[in-house]
């Protein structure tokens, strides 16, 4: 059924810290690595070693400059499916291949049913869905549904591949439906926000804004003054006065 389920109590999703992400692309690569051999068909590439390589990826990292002049800053911006509460991609799907899980809110594609019409990708404001070039079915972030519930993996690996791999801890995974969860508290503390709220998709994933700049004291420090100000004490005072006496 592509009608949306009642909003679930558990809303699994990601919180991405734009203050910390350094744009290293490790999450992008590990996402591809895990998902090319996990849920559904492999994520194929076309012309991978040629002039214009392309292929299906579920996570992409943009880079933006925000602000002007001395206050401008570079913000690396990872983007994947936001597992929207009011997911348009699910509602437009004619086959029932796109669905939102009633138990945890994860949005998935049943690749056995997908006809590859592409309408779901058209309906997603964020560009979170990409057609697989060789399989002709729609691919999207699964929130690593085959890791997070996988009891065969050690506990620390039971998180999405991107979260596990991020070297800077810019990515957090958890239940955003529970106000007491670590991720919900992080969102509350840092003023986490939705992408394109005007599209009324009610994303579950949240983004944390870059922290305000710390204003540095900008009077230049003089090393000479520091050196002259220094009055030695103890042994160094004796050395100092002896040397001075010597002339």
Chain positions contacting ligand SF4, by CB under 6 A: 21-27, 61, 76, 78, 81-84, 87-89, 92-93, 95, 97-98, 107, 109, 114-120, 124, 126, 128-129, 138, 140, 165-166, 168, 170-171, 201
Distance CA 128, CA 137 (A): 14
147 binds, among ligand SF4, other proteins, none (CB under 5 to 8 A by kind): none
Report the alpha-carbon angle 166-168-171, nearest 5. 55
67 binds other proteins (CB under 8 A): yes
Contact 151, 1 (CB under 8 A): no
For ligand SF4, give the closer residue by CB, 135 or 218. Answer: 135
- Residue 58 touches other proteins, criterion: CB under 8 A: no
Q: Are 164 and 153 spatial neighbours (Cβ–Cβ below 8 Å)?
A: no
Q: Is 42 in the site for other proteins (CB under 8 A)?
A: no
Q: Which does 79 bind (CB under 5 to 8 A by kind): other proteins, ligand SF4, none?
A: other proteins
How many positions of this chain bind other proteins (CB under 8 A)? 71
Overall size of the chain counted in residues: 247
Q: In angstroms, rounded to a whole number, what is the distance separating the alpha carbons of residues 12 and 204?
A: 7
- Write down the least CB distance from residue 2 to ligand SF4, Å: 8
Residues 124 and 138: their CA atoms lie apart, in Å, by: 12
As a whole number of angstroms, the distance between CA 87 and CA 93 comes to 11
Task: Restricting to residues 89-118, name those near other proteins by CB under 8 A.
Answer: 90-97, 113-118
Q: Which residue in 37, 169, 200, 241 binds other proteins (CB under 8 A)? A: 200
Q: Give the three-state DSSP class for 184.
A: helix
């Amino acid at each position: 059924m592509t009608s949306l389920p009642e909003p679930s109590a558990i809303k699994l999703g990601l919180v991405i810290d734009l203050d910390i992400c350094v744009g290293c692309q490790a999450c992008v690569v590990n996402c591809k690595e895990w998902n090319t051999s996990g849920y559904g068909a492999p994520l194929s590439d076309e012309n991978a070693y040629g002039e214009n390589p392309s292929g299906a990826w579920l996570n992409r990292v943009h880079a933006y400059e925000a602000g002007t002049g001395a206050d401008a800053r570079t913000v690396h911006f990872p983007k994947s499916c936001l597992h929207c509460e009011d997911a348009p991609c699910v509602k437009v799907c004619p086959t029932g291949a796109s669905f939102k899980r009633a138990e945890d809110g994860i949005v998935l594609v049943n690749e056995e049913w997908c006809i590859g019409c592409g309408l779901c990708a058209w309906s997603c404001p964020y560009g979170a869905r990409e057609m697989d070039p060789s399989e002709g079915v729609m691919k999207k972030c699964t929130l690593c549904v085959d890791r997070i519930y996988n009891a065969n993996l050690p506990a620390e690996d039971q998180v999405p591949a991107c979260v596990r791999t991020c070297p800077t801890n810019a990515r957090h995974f958890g239940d955003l439906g529970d106000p007491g969860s670590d991720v919900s508290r992080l969102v509350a503390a840092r003023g986490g926000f939705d992408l394109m709220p005007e599209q009324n998709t009610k994303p579950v994933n949240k983004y944390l804004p870059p922290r305000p700049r710390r204003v540095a004291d900008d009077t230049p420090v003089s090393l000479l003054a520091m050196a002259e100000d220094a009055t030695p004490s103890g042994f160094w005072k004796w050395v100092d006065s002896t040397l001075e006496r010597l002339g």
